[in-house]
Amino acid sequence: MTSELDQLREMTTVVADTGEVAAVKRLEPVDCTTNPSLVLKAASDEASKDMIDAEIKKGRAADLSPEEITATLTVAVGAELTKLVPGRVSTEVDARLSFDTDASVERARAIVADYKARSVDKDRILIKLASTWEGIRAAEILQKDGIDCNLTLLFSMAQAIACAEAGAFLISPFVGRITDWYKARDGVKGYLPDDDPGVKSVRKIYDYYKCNGIETVVMGASFRNIHQIEALAGCDRLTISPDLLDELAKKQADLPRKLSPTKAERSERRTMDEAAFRWEMNADPMATEKLAEGIRKFDADHQKLIELVTNW
């Protein structure tokens, strides 16, 4: 019998939730991600240290600020990763721009230009934006320019509907963080996979997209255990941390498909204007709290990366 990871790859595109070169080489995912959080981890990766050192020295020689070097460093790591994966590398826009559409678009275009200067075409990357109303509007503009986007920090159907209407290439609903919130609220240690709130959220979004012919890719993210992954087998894509990928690779068991376009539960297609979006987010404390918390955490790691560059 083949491993669960091999079986999963037959029905789902597996993405590595890491920017560590050594891990990507070993795990051979189709896609991967780079952001300040993952670049911080890569800085302690022996396979990446020389490249990071060279990029920081290059930035200083060009009289760039630590913040500007941080921006180029994230792209430099992404450019290295494009040499290792056949698919896309998601690259994050500064979290501080999450409520500024114009600034997000400007930063995204600068990321694309930096990749181009490193001989990486825009069809090899995804611009990663927080699923705020402003971030979704930025994605709409970028998609019309042929720049594909990954809408992250997605916790609600309101966000999923708005992303679909904006023509986003891909969304990343966060399974584990949804589960964390409900575990704290309910005072429980965990849930059976089919009852897991994070799993149920992704299944609902997946079904809504498939039964309504929405082409936006659903990529489940933020997993706490392999049972959540097993419960979403068949999802378009799943981005999985190296430790959980290793666990799936070691497990020899039958992995049944759980999600399929042909079995999607039907639901009526909806529209989502700004007023409806903000009202539905306001009515969902989990989505509101986790989105705000996620943006704060992304920014905290961004600040840590600036500090690392400053003290390198």
Provide the annotated active-site residues: 128
Burial code of 106-125, b = ≥16 C-beta within 10 A, e = fewer? ebbbebbebbeeeebebebb
Which residues neighbour 283 within 8 Å (Cβ) at sequence distance 6 or greater? none
E strands in the chain? 13-16, 31-34, 89-92, 125-130, 149-154, 170-173, 217-220, 237-240
Q: Which residues does residue 128 pair with via DSSP β-bridges, in sequence order?
A: 92, 150
| 31 phi/psi in degrees, rounded to 5 | -125, 170
Q: Which amino acid is at 157?
A: M
List helix spans (H) across 65-186: 66-82, 101-117, 133-144, 157-165, 175-186
Distance (Å, whole) CA 232 – CA 229: 5
Q: Are residues 179 and 196 in contact, defined by beta-carbon separation less than 8 angstroms? A: yes
**Chain CA centroid to CA 14, Å:** 12
Q: Are residues 75 and 43 in contact, defined by beta-carbon separation less than 8 angstroms? A: no
